[in-house]
Amino acid sequence: MRNIHVLPTENYKQDYTTMRGEVIEVVRLGQLIRHKEVGEFLVNKNPQWAASCDTDILVPHHMYITSDEELKDGDWFLDIISNTIHRAKQATGFFNTRKKIILTTDQDLIKYGVQTIDDELLDACISVISYDNEKATKDSELNIPQEEHKPLKTMKNIHVLPTNKPSIVFNTNKGEYHFREHYVPDTIQTCKNHNIYITSDEEIKEGDWFIALDGSNDIYKANKVWLDIIKENTNPSRKIILTTDQDLINNGVQQIDIEFLEWFVKNPSCENVDISKHYDKVDIDGTCLS
């Protein structure tokens, strides 16, 4: 039974005001694109805004991986007859033509809790699709056991970014993370200052600080304009709830404590931690989820 579904979608577009005050339209392709001339699907590893893009040749698509699980209220599903996406409300249960979506590249569904398809899995799915196309069949299936699809990839919530400002966290020229008890300027040639940002899936409200996950990893303070952009999902973002960034700490974001930093330098490959409900402390007992 087919469980990989690829559907065309529209490019993300918005107006951008240049430093000269000119308003231009910028375009951003999604995570998955199809090259019309060669007929191949490609993983877009640089999904950033651009002033121009050959959208006649590079066509954005979304991938949806489905399961035969029971549909419950709030689940997203694909109607395999019409190839349309819906959210289950009252029509729950098991259906032959309605398949629950468990993984996707569609940001509209991801922001509602559907698990994202990372680049590694996307490459594997594209290989399956390409192989099936060679066999001239429309069925594409990837074996994802029902009980295993949820832990496949946990959403990243630890973000470590370089900074030119004073910091207590730094990375040596050997690629090792360390921290100091005091903030030190970024002037030492043998190491580079970094800041740690821990994020949450909470709703971003006016005045909150957030990180843009569009590939830029830029940090912003939410105002009404940004909230409209986030609501329209033209800028996938996460609320910052803990940090080592002095500028954000001075603006009310909770500081990451030394206990977590001691743990982090020993576990720098971990990208996700459990966060206590009130952010009083990062729970570091068995925290690494990915």
- Short-list 7, 20, 6, 10, CA closest to 232: 10
Same domain? For 167 and 142 the reply is no
Q: Of 137, 152, 167, which residue sits at a domain end?
A: 152
Locate tokens 């609320």: which residue?
Answer: 239
pLDDT for residue 288: 47
pLDDT for residue 284: 47
In this structure, what token pair is assigned to residue 188?
Answer: 């030492």
- Short-list 125, 113, 116, CA closest to 76: 113
Burial class (CB in 10 A: 0-12, 13-18, 19+), 184: middle
In a domain, residue 287? The reply is no
In a domain, residue 237? The reply is yes
Same domain? For 57 and 76 the reply is yes
Locate tokens 């395999």: which residue?
Answer: 80
Same domain? For 116 and 211 the reply is no
In a domain, residue 274? The reply is no
E runs forming strands in 127-274: 158-162, 167-172, 177-184, 191-200, 209-212, 219-221, 237-243, 254-255
pLDDT for residue 102: 93
pLDDT for residue 139: 44
- Short-list 236, 245, 234, 244, CA closest to 217: 236
Same domain? For 10 and 145 the reply is yes
In a domain, residue 51? The reply is yes
In a domain, residue 273? The reply is no
Give the range of the structural domain holding residue 204, as residue numbers without chain letter.
158-264
In a domain, residue 25? The reply is yes
Q: Of 122, 152, 182, which residue sits at a domain end?
A: 152
- What does the alpha-carbon distance between residue 2 and residue 80 come to, in Å, rounded to a whole number? 10
Same domain? For 82 and 170 the reply is no
pLDDT for residue 241: 93
Same domain? For 143 and 163 the reply is no
In a domain, residue 231? The reply is yes
Same domain? For 171 and 148 the reply is no
Same domain? For 139 and 26 the reply is yes
Same domain? For 37 and 126 the reply is yes
Same domain? For 142 and 217 the reply is no
In a domain, residue 130? The reply is yes
Same domain? For 9 and 108 the reply is yes
32 touches 65 (CB < 8 A): no
Provide the domain count of the chain: 2
Q: Of 152, 171, 205, which residue sits at a domain end?
A: 152
Same domain? For 164 and 247 the reply is yes
pLDDT in single tens digits along all 290 residues of the chain: 578 888 887 655 556 555 566 666 655 566 777 777 777 887 776 655 555 555 567 778 888 999 988 888 888 998 888 888 888 876 566 677 788 999 998 888 888 889 988 878 888 888 776 544 444 334 455 444 443 443 334 467 889 999 999 999 998 888 889 998 889 888 887 889 999 999 988 889 999 999 987 767 889 999 988 888 777 765 578 899 999 999 999 999 999 988 888 888 888 878 777 765 434 545 544 444 44
Whole-structure pTM value: 0.48
- What does the alpha-carbon distance between residue 213 and residue 156 come to, in Å, rounded to a whole number? 11
* Angle at the Cα of 219 from the Cα atoms of 159 and 118, rounded to 5 degrees: 45
